[in-house]
Every structure is written in structure tokens, then in C-alpha cells.
Structure 1
């Protein structure tokens, strides 16, 4: 593939389950490189094309310094901000990871205020600029995001969220909410700071059972630098009931930063 719409393909930079991401540039100007996400040949059906369009629409509506900027959308493709630093797991220090988490928490609170739930918060959906300081962390992939106004009361027929980060209420089939994103952010925080998400099991069924029934892990007794306050902060952010979690993602990350920063 050499061109798509008004874009000229430069190189492939990533490949996912249903799409390929290319580095590209607009044929008619010199505004700089973009990322071009293109559905592969096996996923150009109505379901995936509609999902890609929804991804574009939600990201466009959620304009924010730490939400990916999208530019254009066509049948089976979209163009967006090119982010070159990889995922947040590439950040070399705890301090930078806490900074990235604070930026993503602010972005999530912003999209929640707009009535949007991201529904897929996880480390691979947090990209970082290189160098980190100019743009920081960027929340990407609104492919399974939901509008609270249009879909908030609809029972979910199947779970699309990534299981290591899925909130209990989502696994029960209830509509996701801002609190569901907070739960996922809490799981992401554990992974970025401690190396693995809170629950890791050998089967998907066991992982679902852990989210639904297992107590939130405590880390202060097994990781020297983790204070006991972190355990209680995490327990609230990962409460089984969404009503018991923090009122905002920023509040949660602020408390984490204060406890261990």
C-alpha cells in the first residue's frame, strides 16, 4: 500500500488484531507525519468499519492535551497524531510513570465529564511522546468507548474490556461508567509501578473470578518501597462496588503520588 485517500504511506509502525498502523504524510502539504490506522483485509466488514468511525468520533469529541488527536476518517481508516515513544511501560523511572498516570487521569476525568467512558484503559493504550516532556502521555484507542447518554442503561451482552483490567460490574454485564475506567486505571497503575496487574491467573475464568471475588492485593508487606497507605488507596479504587470508589481518577492518582512519590 503506497497511498490512501490524501495520504502517502511511509512505513508500517504497528500491527494489532484488526488493523495496521502506518507512518504517513499528507500529499498536499508539509504539516508533518501522521499515524494512519487501516483495517486489514479480514476486518473491513460493517462492524469493524462502524467501530473505527466511533473511535474517531469519540476521540474527536474528547479533545484534550492527553487524548490522541485525530485528523481525518475514511472507509476503514483514520489518521491521527503520531506518537513515537511507545507505551508508558517504556518510561524509565517511577517518577515519569506517575507523571504519565496523572496526565491520563486528567484526560479520563475530562472525557467522563463529556459523558464518554473509554472502556479499555490499560498500559498499551497509554502512549508517550519522545522525549517525554513536550506532550507527555496520550490516551489512545476509543474503539470500544461508550456514550453514557445513549448507551448507559443498556445491559451489555458481552464483555469487550481487556480482562486484566475489567471492573467487576462490567464482568457482571452492567453498563460501564467513569468508575469502571477508574478501576482499570488502578489496575494499570499497579502494572506500571509494580510490574504486573493485580490479578494474574492461568485461565480467563479464574481471572474473572478474581476480579469478582478476590480481595485487592496488598503490596506493602512484599515490596520494600511501597507504604501501607498505598494498599488502602488501591483498595478503594478497586472496590467491588463502583459507588465506593473515588469521585475522580485524578483524586486517586493524586493520593498514590503523595503516598509513594
Structure 2
């Protein structure tokens, strides 16, 4: 862990603001650009080739994308990168359903933009959606397991790198991801933001895999009387087991939900 006031690669560290499975994110000051940044640094035990490559991948994909709801990256080095400081916290901290839906519509736009550039995020989940300080702008972060669709032709991923509660069936079965893969994860995220938990829960990873592959989505309107029945049918299509049975875009799905809950 870096300490407040400590210097790291020309940055002056202020405080730790987040920690994932393999890296810590700090608020830091970059004197070269005269701005505060989010500085993501690999933990000592994860300074191996796999995680260094993942961080480089995160930087390279994000740098290819210019969109108001995709995090801006600034600089990188071996085992670290700097990016836009998104100071409002995670989407789970957004208080109202209407504001959460507004944030998810912005993320849907960002994902459709990404897919139009033949990139799949592959790890859409609440932890990877931040909001700016005014709470009116959502930002998609962490392209560490993203895929360029062209790179995936003829290649079967060797392991699941996405988070299991949000992993589409095709990722679990080792097929190359498409835009529909992100749509499925966005649907899982939306359900969690609206109902309090993702569509499928299980006490084990194997149980979650089984649910994604074989269980139909719940009928939430039966448990939550304030949800209209159409919520179930709209969401079920976005959570279809076969990618080709889902909506043509992320925006179409979230717009239908927003209209249903208006």
C-alpha cells in the first residue's frame, strides 16, 4: 500500500479510494498535468505477467474509446495506470430507481458505442459503473478483460474471467463474446439495481453456472407487487440463453424498461 504524501511515478498519492482483486486505486495528484487522477497500481503479489498484461489491456481498450460515459485514461507504466478521477462513488449509491435507470441508459449508450467499434467489455457489473460527483453522469470503467471481436474469431476463451453473477451463458461455455454478452450482464446489473439482487443467486459457483445455463429468469412481479408484469418479459428477453434471442442493442433494452417503470 502507498501512503499519503508518498511519490509514485511522478504522482503524489493522496489516499486509497478503492481495492479490487489485484490492484489498489488511489486519489493522486499529477504535477505534469496539474490535475487529480485515479491511480491504479498492481498489488505486490500480483505484479506478474498476467496482471501486467491485463492492466495494459485495460488501458489500450479504454484509450481507443472516446465517449462521455466511458472512463478517460491518461498514462500508464509497468504495473500501473492513471485515469479520470470519478468522485461520486458506485451506482449502488445512487438513491432513486429513476436515477439508477438514467445512469443505466447512459451505460447502455456507452456499450452500444463500444460494440459499434467491435469491442466487448465482458465484465459489466455494478462495481464497474461509477458516477461523477453531480450524480447525473455514469461512467463505465475497467476494460481489463475486454475483447476485440476480430481477435476472437476462431478462438475459444480458456477460462471465465467475468464475474459469475453477471456472466452470460456463452462466456461460461467458452464461446467468443459479442455485444449480446454485455447486454446479458447489463440486464443482470439492472435487475440488481431495481430489485436488490442479481437474477440468479446460488451458494456456490457451480450453482450459479447451472442457473445461468438452465434456469429461466424469475418472475419478479410476483414477489414485488410494484413491478409491472411487463418488467418480467422485457428482462427475460435480455436474459435469453442464446445471444441471438436478445435485443439488438443495449439501449433498446434499457429504454423499454425505463418506459415500463415510468
Tell me if both proteins adopt one fold, taking TM over 0.5 as the criterion: yes
Asked if structure 2 preserves the Cα contact closer than 8 Å seen for 1:105 and 1:250, the reply is yes
Give the Cα separation in 1 of the matches to 2:223 and 2:30: 52
Stretches of structure 1 that go unaligned for 5 or more consecutive residues are none
1:158, 1:254 → 2: CA distance? 33
Cα distance in 1 between the residues matched to 2:217 and 2:16: 40
CA contact (8 A) 1:106 1:250 kept: yes
Residue 198 of structure 2: aligned partner: 197
Secondary structure of the 2:88 match is coil
Candidates 6, 9, 13, aligned match of 2:10 = 6
Residue 130 (str. 1) matches residue 133 (str. 2): yes
Secondary structure of 2:70's aligned partner: coil
Q: Over residues 10-29 of structure 1, what are the superposed CA-to-partner deviations in whole Å (9 max), with x where a residue is unaligned?
A: 11111121111111111234
Q: Tell me if 1:101 matches 2:112.
A: no
Q: Secondary structure at the match of 1:187?
A: helix
TM-score, normalised with respect to structure 1: 0.97
Q: Which runs of 5+ in 2 are unaligned?
A: none
Tell me how far apart the structure 2 counterparts of residues 152 and 73 of structure 1 sit (CA, whole Å): 29
- Report the equivalent of 1:156: 157
Q: Deviations over 1:190-245 (max 9, x none)?
A: 00011000011111111100000001111112212111111110110000100000
TM-score where L is the length of structure 2: 0.96
Kindly indicate whether residue 39 of structure 2 is the aligned counterpart of residue 71 of structure 1.
no
Residue 240 (structure 1) aligns with: 241
Q: How does 1:4-153 map to 2 (within 5 A)?
A: 4-30=8-34, 32-133=35-136, 136-153=137-154
- Match of 1:86, SS state, is coil
1:150 positional shift: 1.3
